[in-house]
Amino acid sequence: MQKKYSQLYCYVNDYNYSDLKNLNKNIHIIYRNYKKNINTSTLILLKSFCKKHGLKLFLSNNIKLALKYKLNGIYIPAFNHQINYIKYVIPKNFDIIGSAHNFKEILIKKKQGCKSIFLSPTFKVKKTNNFLNISKFNILTLNNKVRFIALGGIKKTNLNKIKLLNVSGYAGISFFQKKTAP
């Protein structure tokens, strides 16, 4: 039986129409760029693209801008441990998602109100030799009532391994921008 994933995410750090037009309709976009300040014109371009193509857009680490531009939600990276996101009046259709690397960070993301948590790195990546793999990933996701998303090392060659994980989807930085993406 084919396992269907309801949540697929692609990270982008700029508006590049040629990359974005190749994305499937069920892939949501997370706009993050830690090297420079958020460009509101880029944010507006991404929002109109997502609206036109029926995609969700999440902004990384800036809840005020995400609420101001009426985006679909906010993405809270693992290094952000602030708990004060709940103080804002959050619309019903606004999702808070975040990433974590270990059990302690999972608890922080739950306190931040995350509905989905990106657990990374799932598979081997160039940046680090520490990765979760199937067993550790599934142990971390036990007895948690949030949805988990696999992140890190997602390649065409290990898509079958994702079926063994306790996830509702997966995310990639460069994986979805390739023409071979699902």
Query: In the chain, where are the structural domains located?
Result: 7-177
Residue 182 has pLDDT above 80, yes or no: no
pLDDT at 48: 93
Residue 161 has pLDDT above 90, yes or no: no
Residue 86 has pLDDT above 80, yes or no: no
List pLDDT tens digits, range 38-71.
888 899 999 999 999 989 999 998 888 999 999 9
DSSP type of residue 11 = E
Q: What are phi and psi of 47, to 5 degrees?
A: -65, -45
DSSP type of residue 143 = T
Residue 98 has pLDDT above 80, yes or no: yes
Q: What are phi and psi of 94, to 5 degrees?
A: -100, 120
Q: How confident is the model at residue 179 (pLDDT cuts 50, 70, 90)?
A: very low
- What architecture is the 7-177 domain classified under in CATH? Alpha-Beta Barrel (3.20)
List pLDDT tens digits, range 115-149.
999 988 878 777 766 777 777 888 788 877 888 98
pTM for the whole structure: 0.84
Are the C-beta atoms of residues 84 and 115 closer than 8 Å to each other?
no
Interacting residues of 48 by C-beta distance below 8 A, sequence separation 6+: none
